[in-house]
Structure 1
């Protein structure tokens, strides 16, 4: 299901722990890491899609988390043409997402990446809140930054992006 502009409705999930660290998942058989996310089915609300995707990708159920907030509007990113399936080229541009920020209220052992027959992730870790901005694939970077900036207001004692960047050593060309 695409909107008239060629964007697929989607949800993104920022799952946090009590230290404001975020769940960071490694895609199956890839060296790429990302937040849980997934499409919204026809007739499904963004919140219902978020809970479904959360269970499919992490094994967590609604009673394992608390919704802290969500983005006000859709955030969009374009997918590079060479990543788009041939039959979708010309009509599919990318994703439009509503992002949710959740707090894990259950235990870390409640996370089960093998909850579904075809898992999305084969590893996960807690990560600094702002680190995914620099680590996600380039074409998603602006949406990750916008989502994390907007959602950070729902966390207490949250370090600002500016303070985080000031304490992280710059990457040199020798690295």
Structure 2
């Protein structure tokens, strides 16, 4: 499903433990790490898609988590031109996402990356709240920052943790380096 502007509706999941660390997962066969996310089907609400994706990708059900909140609106990112499938219709130029912040209320041993017949991740770990901003692919970075900034006060009511220099991406956010004026 793609909207009239070319964006695919999607949910993003920030899963936190009691210590305020967030769930970070590696895509199968790649050195690419990300938060769980997935498309919203035509008949689903964002919350229904959240629980379906959580089950498929992480192996957790509604009783394993508490929804702390979600972003107020859609957060969008565009795909780089090389990733746009120009021969498919409708053309998808990016994703628009509602982000959810969840707290794990069950034991972390409940996580099962292979629960579905088609696992997306082969490894996971708990990381510092801002760590994902450093490691996520460049075109998703701005959305990650916005989601973490908006939802962070729900997890850290006394103030967001300091964003260490090590969580900032090295060099330019643009994949080919700095643009010349």
What is the TM-score normalised by the length of structure 2? Answer: 0.88
RMSD: 2.1
Q: Distance in 2 between matches of 1:116 and 1:128?
A: 27
1:137 alignment partner in structure 2: 137
Q: Distance in 2 between matches of 1:142 and 1:89?
A: 27
Deviations 1:72-98 (A, max 9, x none): 000000011211234238821100000
Stretch of structure 1 that moved more, 86-95 or 114-123: 86-95
Stretch of structure 1 that moved more, 133-142 or 76-85: 76-85
1:25 alignment partner in structure 2: 25
Q: Distance in 2 between matches of 1:9 and 1:171?
A: 27
After TM superposition, the runs of 4+ consecutive aligned structure 1 residues lying more than 6 A away are 169-173
SS in 1 for 2:164: helix
1:83 alignment partner in structure 2: 83
> Residues 86, 164 of structure 1: CA spacing in aligned structure 2 closer, same or farther, 3 A cutoff?
same
Structure 1 unmatched ranges of 5 or more = none
Q: Report the Cα offset of residue 160 of structure 1.
A: 2.9
Alignment of 1:34-73 (within 5 A): 34-73=34-73
Residues 1:164 and 2:158 aligned together? no
2:174 alignment partner in structure 1: none
Stretch of structure 1 that moved more, 148-157 or 59-68: 148-157
Count of paired positions: 171
What is the TM-score normalised by the length of structure 1? Answer: 0.91
Q: Distance in 2 between matches of 1:33 and 1:128?
A: 14
> Residues 30, 89 of structure 1: CA spacing in aligned structure 2 closer, same or farther, 3 A cutoff?
farther
> Residues 25, 97 of structure 1: CA spacing in aligned structure 2 closer, same or farther, 3 A cutoff?
same
> Residues 118, 90 of structure 1: CA spacing in aligned structure 2 closer, same or farther, 3 A cutoff?
closer
> Residues 101, 81 of structure 1: CA spacing in aligned structure 2 closer, same or farther, 3 A cutoff?
same
Structure 2 unmatched ranges of 5 or more = 172-181
Residues 1:74 and 2:74 aligned together? yes
SS in 1 for 2:87: helix
> Residues 171, 52 of structure 1: CA spacing in aligned structure 2 closer, same or farther, 3 A cutoff?
closer
